[in-house]
A and B are shown apart, each in its own frame.
Chain A
Amino acid sequence: MATLEEFRAETRAWLEASAPAELRGSFSHPFAGYWGGRKQHGATPESLRWLALMAERGWTAPTWPTRYGGGGLSRAEDGVLQQELRRLRLPPPLVGFGLIMLGPTLLEFGSEPQKLAHLPAICRGEVRWCQGYSEPNAGSDLAALACKAVRDGDGWLVNGQKVWTSYADLSDCIFCLVRTNSEGPRQSGISFLLLDLEQPGISVRPIQLISGASPFCEVFFEDARAPLQNLVHQVDAGWTVAKALLRHERAFVGEIFASSVGGGESELVALARRNLAAAEGPLPDALLRDAIARNAMDERCFLLTLQRVKEDMVADQRPGPVASILKIEGTELNQRRHALAMRIAGPGGLGWQGAGFDERSLQLPRQWLRSRGNSIEGGTTEIQLNIIAKRVLGLPSAGGPS
């Protein structure tokens, strides 16, 4: 068995020899890469080449077993691979919800035929997946979902609606929570079902946000069909699957989020210098100076807290109570940062389109408006506070001690 250092040397040599020159140095974000799929949206010749090269080695999903198209690497080897990719600042060869959400979930709950049917296609970027969880009447209260699947001959017949489905318009398939039983406790009548979006029973409509275009869509099901074998785990046991998937989602979203925090201070200072016509020295507006320093110090404190949570994770092998504050603190930090940018820009932040605004200033109001959603998506701040109150602080449930 090769040592880690041998693995590193081989990996480095292979990457140096094979990685497309056009992509080297182009890394920007762990989620900025090619999403794959039948529609090949956003594909370029080099991104397709990079995907094919990496998928060939199983390195689009480095730690998955090789029989499902993965690389069969240990965590340590994967760590080395990621370091080597980072060394050349290469973008990930493939990103998407198949890799980060559905794949790990199928590995945990899928049957052998399901794993063989779906995982290799995910690894090769042939099928792009989206997530059908929320519904118009099931937001924070996800278990209220009503999109219904009934047995119909050799398959499932699905009727209902999903909402906030990211990239449904660009995806090929959807993994859904559907109601298969209306009796008994709500959580125990839910199943986890895989559907192909390319069928007459499904229509997709993009959602326009207050900030403009968005990846979010509504998905409508009218007698949509799925074969029987597309139900993951057992009938009516989908809630267990859903919770596991949310864990994978949160782990990843946390990582993405952490990598996007930072750099706020220099951007805000630069914005202030342009808007206050103060090229150097202390900013002449003491209130804005204070607000920028506050934001920068909050940002630093948040990044240090992330580091603290990571150390706890490594040492204790599970997230500690401090992890529960990250969603609230992180999203509100982001919101304050965008609100402050608007305040600094003043009239320069009001432009929506037309003459006299550059691209950067047109982004300001859009980012500011978009940031308002941060404390709603992925578990509202209020739900997070409920969780802290009950699970961390041990406060009694409403209506008396339980």
Chain B
Amino acid sequence: MSFRLDEEQRLLQQTARELFSKRSPVSRVRSLAEGPGHSEELWRELAELGWVGLAFPEELEGSGLGHFELAILLEEAGRQLAPEPFIASVLLGGMALLHGENAGLRQTWLPAVARGEARLGLAWQEAGSRYDAQQIETRAEAVEGGWRLHGSKLQVMDGGTAQALVVSARLADGGIALFLVESQADGVRCTRQQLLDGRRADLLELEAVQVGPAQLVAGPETGAALLERVLDLARVGLCAEMLGGMSRAFEDTLAYLQSRVQFGVPIGSFQALQHRAARLFCALEMARTAVLAAARCADQRPEKLPELASLAKARCSETYLLVGYEGVQLFGGAGMTEEVDIGLFLKRAAVAAVSLGDAAWHRARWAGLKGY
């Protein structure tokens, strides 16, 4: 396993950095609530570059690259706090179809996703589930020709802008199945929920939504495992996005320490602040290790993915928040103002830290995986 980027990966990183800084200034975040939650135009542009379908196989109109490359891309998106729905559409919804049992759904949807024409999502979280995706109250009631879905899902990432959502549901015998539900289907209601970082999530309500075998993504034999796998892949992607955000927040803080003058000198010359900055550097590099390792693992050693995804998510959840807290403190009063960007990173850190499981939950999961 290597942590290093090869020539092509560095080129991808550089191109992505240029594109996101040009097309997605951090200040976009302040007006997200006024639009759909992301930019249709930018999303199409990303699709044309082959980046939306980066990790889809070529026969599905993807670029045939891996999660490591996707992580490189998401880190760059994270540096600009770009809200484009990679995680919802590509990793949660897209990977569920890619690794699910239903070849028809895969053929129908994934090329359209890669082209930027369709978006997907995954509705897994419920009022009583907290972070445990296996805690499911949503029911799939067996009826003539298929099932009827009843229940509601919380904070579906970019759910309202997706054309179809993969929904987890409990079968009558207790098994877990995943279905693809089109947003326009009868009985589906999506209500926008605005999160504290400006991102959109949606409340999904399902009232006797009719689905047939053609919409079955995974049956009870594979449903639970697929759900975990997809969530882990999305965790790796989210961690990469977080890594980009914390790196940028740290760089902004460092630049402020060098430029802000008090007592006639840059405040970055004070040892008390230097040590805080150096501590952040240590934490950031450890987080970078965890993210790179998890992304490599997603491509090369899928059997180790659960532990490395949890390792990365636990690390990134704590480190992004730490960088956010320290950033606001080191910016002083300016850090508390809406005008300065550092607060936007703290808000994103708070949401991302909780999304797909917080640090303590992932430590408990790790302990469980290790048998204690």
Contacts and interface: CB of A to CB of B under 8 A. Distances in A.
Interface of A: 265, 269, 272-273, 282-283, 286, 289-290, 292-294, 296-297, 300-302, 304-305, 307-308, 311-312, 315, 321-322, 325, 328-329, 382, 384-386, 388-390, 392-401
Nearest to A307: B3
B62 to A, nearest CB: 29
Determine the main DSSP class of B at the interface with A: helix
Interface in B30-87: none
Interface residues of B, number: 39
Contact of A393 (B264, B281, B315, B372): B281
B367 A322 contact: no
Contacts of B1: 307
B4 A315 contact: yes
B289 interface: yes
B286 interface: yes
A393 B285 contact: no
Interface string B262-297: 001110111100110111011001100110110000
Nearest to A283: B372
A329 B265 contact: no
A135 to B, nearest CB: 24
A307 B293 CA distance: 10
B372 A396 contact: no
Given A297-B366, A401-B269, 20 more contacts: A269-B370, A272-B372, A282-B368, A289-B372, A293-B364, A296-B370, A297-B314, A301-B289, A304-B3, A305-B289, A308-B292, A311-B2, A329-B282, A386-B278, A388-B281, A389-B274, A393-B254, A395-B254, A395-B258, A396-B269
Interface in B345-372: 360, 363-364, 366-368, 370, 372
Given A282-B367, A400-B265, A292 B293 contact: no
B285 A398 contact: no
Interface in B217-276: 254, 257-258, 264-266, 268-271, 274-275
Closest 9 CB pairs of A and B: A389-B274, A388-B278, A293-B363, A385-B278, A293-B367, A308-B3, A325-B282, A395-B268, A396-B269
Given A302-B286, A305-B286, A393-B277, A269 B292 contact: no
Interface of B: 1-4, 254, 257-258, 264-266, 268-271, 274-275, 277-279, 281-282, 285-286, 289-290, 292-293, 310-311, 314-315, 360, 363-364, 366-368, 370, 372
Nearest to A295: B363
Contacts of B289: 301, 304-305, 308
Contact of A395 (B4, B274, B370): B274
Nearest to A314: B4
Contacts of B278: 384-386, 388-389, 392-393
B311 A395 contact: no
Nearest to B268: A395
